[in-house]
Amino acid sequence: MLKLPKMSLIRDIDKSRLCNRESVVTIGSFDGVHIGHQAILQQVIDKAKSLDSLAVAMTFEPQPQEYFAAETAPPRLMRLREKIEALLDFGMDLVVCLRFNDQLSSLTATEFVQDILVHGVNTRHLIVGDDFRFGCDRKGDFDTLVTMGQDLGFSVQNTQTVEVESQRVSSTLVRQLLHKSDFDQVSKLLGRPFSINGKVTFGQQLGRELGFPTANVNLNRFRAPLTGVYAVWVDIEGIEGRFKGAANVGVRPTIGDIEKPILEVHLLDFDRQIYGQRISVEFVNKIRDEQQFTSLEHLSDSISDDVIMIKQWFASNSV
């Protein structure tokens, strides 16, 4: 029997089997890996243990909505790397990340089941929602899977529904709460505080010129799940402790030099160079919306006010 390491990632598969072991599989975007996703993943893990099979999470990159309409697709709650790490950390044996392209999107429902689920990952048991649709003709649904599974040797199970305060937990609900800056409720749905992670990149040094140097993280997406100025906690790779910060997420309308939003963080009482290091930015309180100012001087004055307000917020909310 072919053994796989506990933490594994497969970016693409062909029509041959990945391994000799059978798999218990779930399919989805898993954006945010919230407590609803976690309940499904636990179903997969428990079933895989009972069947001595691999626990497999299958997702797509880019997401189908992004592939067909990148500029209007819902903003991601997490990067692909964060998602894969979260799925593996939760306990999945294998994450299969299929490249969503013309070839994959042209598969019929039958081809998807036969090529991907059966020959690709050797599915013994599949756990998906009863509203799951697949195939280029969108004719594949839960009943299709049940029928084909009976013929091809795998069983199908519906996912659990998780509710918080009578609301179904979903990535859409998390986005709505982020828009309202309800970070306490977001933490309940995610099972952890909301954060954005990424590598600090070189910018135009404008923040330094204005007196507020920033650590910049490119989000590499057309839309961010939240915009504005925030009080944040920052963890820095390789540096012990966490640091208070003032963060802006947006497109810098006063400068007008970018189309995709970026994350800019001014670390309070911190003067070390961290270019190239990964940071995790936890959002705790919104100060204001992003604004366009008439001059860089007005922008600098506003940032100064923001920093004062954020320091005051931390002082009054110290743990």
**pLDDT tens digits, 76-114:** 999 999 999 999 999 999 999 999 999 999 999 999 999
Residues 201 and 150 in one domain: no
SS3 content of the chain, % helix, strand, coil (to 5): 30, 25, 45
- Taking the C-alpha atoms of residue 310 and residue 164, their distance in angstroms, rounded to an integer, is 30
Flag whether 253 is in a domain.
Answer: yes
Please give the pLDDT value at position 257: 64
Contact criterion met (CB below 8 Å) for 38 and 191: yes
Q: Which helix (H) or strand (E) holds 86?
A: helix 80-90
Contact criterion met (CB below 8 Å) for 243 and 292: no
pTM: 0.90
Residues 221 and 295 in one domain: yes
**pLDDT tens digits, 118-129:** 999 999 999 998
Alpha-carbon dihedral angle through residues 227, 228, 229, 231, given to the nearest 10 degrees = -40
Residues 198 and 304 in one domain: yes
Flag whether 179 is in a domain.
Answer: no
Amino acid (1-letter code) at residue 164: V
Supply the CATH number for residue 144's domain. 3.40.50.620
Residues 151 and 35 in one domain: yes
Number of domains present in the structure of the chain:
2
Please give the pLDDT value at position 1: 34
Both tokens of residue 304? 């100064």
**pLDDT tens digits, 155-169:** 999 998 899 999 999
The sign one gets for the Cα dihedral 37, 40, 44, 50 is: positive
Last residue in a domain, options 121, 141, 162: 162
Both tokens of residue 94? 């294998």
Residues 57 and 103 in one domain: yes
Residues 310 and 206 in one domain: yes
Supply the CATH number for residue 231's domain. 2.40.30.30
Lowest average pLDDT, out of 138-152, 211-225, 249-263, goes to 249-263
Residue count (the chain)? 319
Enclosing domain of residue 80: 9-14+21-162
DSSP string for 18-76: S-SS-EEEEES--TT--HHHHHHHHHHHHHHHHHT-EEEEEEEES-HHHHH-TTTSPPP
The average pLDDT across 63-84 equals 90
Residues 273 and 151 in one domain: no
Last residue in a domain, options 162, 184, 209: 162
Please give the pLDDT value at position 16: 46
Residues 33 and 72 in one domain: yes
In sequence order, what are the residues at sequence separation of 6 or more whose Cβ sits closer than 8 angstroms to the Cβ of residue 239?
A: 272, 274, 277
